[in-house]
Structures are given as structure tokens and as C-alpha cells.
Amino acid sequence: MAYLLFIACMLFIYIRPFSLPIWFSSVLFAFLAYILSLLSFDDIIFVFSIVTDSTVALLALILLSMSFDKLGFFAHLASFIAFKKISSFSFFLLLSILTSFVSFVFANDGAILVLTPIIYILFSNSKFFKKDKASLIFFLLCLSFLSDFASNLFIFSNLTNIITAKIFDIALLEFTFFMLAPQLFAILAFLLLAYLPFRKKLPRYLYFNAKLAGVKKKDIVFCYALLVFLLIFLFLSLLKLYISLLIASFIAFVYAFLSKKFSLVSFVKQAPFSVLAFSLGLFVVVFTLKNAGLLELLSGIFAPLKDSSLFLQIFSVGFFSAFASSFANNLPAVFLGDLALSSFNLDEARTKILAYANLLACNIGSKFTPIGSLATLLWLHSLARYGIKISFLKYIAFSFFITFFVLCASLLGLSLSVFLLA
């Protein structure tokens, strides 16, 4: 029954019958799981205890991103790439740097929510927009994929990172040391794979005449100062990660509100708080699979690998988790993968390494399909507001070519990290 419920839930999320929002489907099936006694109230409390840190951190990142957006910080960052005339290659590199930075600090969801409208505004006001929408589609795809590909460096860069760090008690510096090489390998692989095959289809130069709204210098100074203090607090572990993020987001929110950058009503309406309900509901549904014996099934699948080399284990876990996350969303995939790894009776060091492999696969492999990542769903929702539709086949053609090799590069980077840090 648990498996049928999970399949039905995912179908509702993918197909969206009657245009139901995805958060409604996950909450509905979580409620049905409890009514059908597929999990107890204690199970729900346990799930919430696991995801509380990540949920609060996600809420804080949403508030922080939106507050910085209202203060003009991201428009300020975008000004570095909004040249009147710039080569497609230079714009691609600058956009990649900007997207990576925003994903590092504001998480993949924050990068999607903030940069998608900025890129659209740049192109929609350009001279060639009506004649050449293919360039806009290409750069929007790059933004979407790199937002997830570049969300591996810090614990707070992705909701999945926070979940894994919570389960395996991984400190911020330890996490960053292990994920630095995989992150660099992933970004470099993306830069090569995304640009080289499509460079001849892009115009040699891009011409932008859009002037982003002016921002006040004091607001930008405030944003930079707050970021510096936040990073200091995070790396010194002065407070728990989610508490530091929550305090920073509250300070940014109050500053922006007192500066009259928005009305409270409009801010609440624009905030994608539905993602919180979606993630909590989906975790409850996924937990029913654990009660139905999924961990034992996974243990049986991976049992032959226990005596294999660590290199083979990294790639085996990586490919399996990538497949699972692309079809079942990376949030439940990383959660179940972490629980399965913790039950394999491996030594602590090897378990953590495989947890990194599982995490990389869920963050990167989820891009194989449009429903694998919550950030992708947010991105598609943002595009719909501008009347932009990217067909399933066009997405798949772009994703399958790039995602597989980026995943392999990141897993090679992890193997290198293990070799260097062992």
C-alpha cells in the first residue's frame, strides 16, 4: 500500500490534475498515509525532527533572498553582466560565475527565484529578443542547471545538503573540504559541455539596452556587510546553521521593510512559502516506504558492493541515486539514501564518503528530468509567468547530454578528495 501511495503521490505532482499545486498533492497524500495507518504520529514527529533544520534554513534563505532582491543587491550583481555589447562567450562565463556565487550563498532555490527574472528582463528589452528567443532559452537552461550543479559547496547551498549534514553530523568546514573538488569539477565540466556544442548557434555578440533599476549605495554596503558577518558566523560555527541564517534573514527583512522597499502584504504574496509545505508533505509520504521495508530492499541491492573498492562504491551509489532522484525527486531520494547508507554497517569514514556520493548524485542527477529538483519546478513556474514554455523533449535533450558527464566529473572529484584528504 505504501508503494502505491507513493507512486500516486508522484503522479499527482508530475501530472497536476485539475491544476492542483504540487504542495497540495504532497500534503494530501501525507494526510492519507496517516489516515491509512502507514505511519504513526511518532513517525511524523521523527520526520519533522529530521527536517526541522533544513526547513527553517530554507525559510530563512527565501526571506534573505527576497529581502536582498528588494534592496537591489541582485540587480547590482547583474550590472556586472549587463553590458551594451558583449560576446556570447563572455556573457556565458559571467552568468556562470554569477549563478555559481548566488547558488553557493543563497542556495539553488534562491538562485532560481532571483536570477530568472533578471535574465528575462535583460533579454526581453534587447533588440534581438523577438527575432532570437533561442539565445534566451539557452541561457535560461544554463541558469537552471548550474543553480543545482553549483549547490554542493556549502551545507546551506542546498536543502539536500542540510538533510545529509544533519543525519551524519557533518560540520561545515569538513563538508566544504570534501565537496570543494567535486564542485570545481562539476562547474568546469558544465562550462565545457554547455558552451562548446551550442556556441555556433549563438550570436557572436549580445546587445543589451536594458538598464536595471538604480540602487542606493548604502543598501548595497549593508548587503555585503551582512553577508560577511553571516559567513563568519557560519564558518566559525558560533551558532547553529539554521539559527545564523534565520537571524541574518530577519535583519535583512527588517532593514528592507523599514527602508520601505515593499509592503508586507505584497511580500507575503510573492514568497514561495508553498515549497515548505511541499517538502514536509513529501518527506512524510517517503517515510512510509521506510516502514514498508525499502531500506532492507536497498541493503540487498547494495550488499554485493560491500567488499568492492571505494571507487566502485562511489560510482555505484552515485548512478543509483541519480536515477532515483530524477524520477522520485531529490528530496526523498537523498533522505532515503542517507537512511539506507546509515544501515549498511560500514565504518563511519566510508559511510560519510558514500553519503557525499549520494548527495552529489541527488543534486546533479536530479536534473535528468524536470521533476527531479524542487529548484527546477520553481524555475518552470517562474518561466510560466513570462509565457515561456520549454518542451519536455527540449529539456531532456539538453539534460541527458550534460548531466551524465557533469555527474561523472563530480564523482571523480570526490574520489580525488578522498585520495587527498585520506
Helix axes 88-124, 172-195, angle to 10 degrees: 90
Q: What pLDDT is stored for residue 270 in this prediction?
A: 66
Rounded CA separation 16/110 (Å): 24
Closest C-alpha to 342, from 175, 166, 205: 166
Number of domains composing the chain: 1
pTM: 0.84
Identify whether 138 is part of a domain. Answer: yes
Identify whether 26 is part of a domain. Answer: no
Identify whether 5 is part of a domain. Answer: no
161, 234 in Cβ contact below 8 A? no
- Three-state SS at 291: helix
Q: Is the pLDDT of residue 59 over 90?
A: no
Identify whether 21 is part of a domain. Answer: no
Identify whether 406 is part of a domain. Answer: yes
Identify whether 3 is part of a domain. Answer: no
Q: Is the pLDDT of residue 92 over 60?
A: yes
Q: What pLDDT is stored for residue 69 in this prediction?
A: 81
Identify whether 24 is part of a domain. Answer: no
Q: Is the pLDDT of residue 363 over 90?
A: yes
Identify whether 281 is part of a domain. Answer: yes
Could you tell me the residue range of the domain that residue 88 belongs to? 39-421
**For residue range 102-134, what is the model confidence (pLDDT) as tens digits?**
899 878 888 887 888 888 878 876 766 666 678
Average pLDDT rounded to a whole number, residues 214-236 = 84
